[in-house]
Amino acid sequence: MPKNPFSEFNALLQAQRQRLRDEMRAKIAASGEGLGFANQSKITDDDALADAAAEMDLAMVIRESRELQDIEAALGRIAEGSYGACTGCGGDIGLARLKAYPAAERCLPCQEKYERLRGQVHMPRL
Ligand SMILES: [Zn+2]
């Protein structure tokens, strides 16, 4: 018997973390090249296109770095023994949900509530 019942998820999360890191490295390297192209294309009218492409890469990198943070947090919870418990209600997240999304920190009802609340937050206009 493994010491940690979530050692399987630990291995999975570490593999995901490695894959994301590799992807981000590749994207950053690629957008560096894209920047070079943007500079070269100053004579043409492709600047806007090159900028948009660079921004899309950046958005992708930001999204993946958030995913990476989720994964890091999940690995931390495995290490401290709180993995698998919902950070919202303290209940079990459930193996099916963890298998679908090992970095999940909330059970499905709490996640839905969280996303609904977050979607409804409107900053007052000053
Ligand atoms: Zn919950």
Lowest mean pLDDT among 3-7, 37-41, 98-102: 37-41
Find the 93 Cα to ligand 1 centroid distance in Å. 7
Find the 83 Cα to ligand 1 centroid distance in Å. 13
Q: 110 vs 44, which has greater pLDDT? A: 110
Angle, in degrees to the nearest 10, between helices 7-40 and 47-80? 160
**pLDDT value of residue 41:** 46
**pLDDT value of residue 1:** 46
pLDDT (tens digit per residue) in 28-87: 777 666 555 545 545 456 677 777 777 777 788 888 888 999 999 999 999 999 999 999
The two three-digit tokens of residue 20, written as one number: 């994301």
Find the mean pLDDT for residues 100-118: 93
Give dist(CA 71, CA 63) in Å, integer. Answer: 13
Contact at 8 Å (CB) between 71 and 16?
yes
Choose among 81, 77, 72: nearest CA to 4: 81
User: How far, in Å, are 49, 64, 86, 103 from residue 71 at the CA level?
Assistant: 33, 10, 15, 5
Q: 35 vs 107, which has greater pLDDT? A: 107
Find the mean pLDDT for residues 10-36: 83
Architecture of domain 7-120: Up-down Bundle (1.20)
Find the 87 Cα to ligand 1 centroid distance in Å. 7
- Look at the pTM and tell me if it is higher than 0.75: no
Contact at 8 Å (CB) between 38 and 71?
no
Q: 9 vs 51, which has greater pLDDT? A: 9
87: Cβ–Cβ under 8 A, 6 or more apart, which residues?
A: 105, 106, 110
Find the 112 Cα to ligand 1 centroid distance in Å. 10
Find the 94 Cα to ligand 1 centroid distance in Å. 10
Find the 126 Cα to ligand 1 centroid distance in Å. 35
Identify the band that residue 121 occupies on the pLDDT scale cut at 50, 70 and 90: low
88: Cβ–Cβ under 8 A, 6 or more apart, which residues?
A: 106, 107, 110, 111, 113, 114
pLDDT of 123 above 90: no
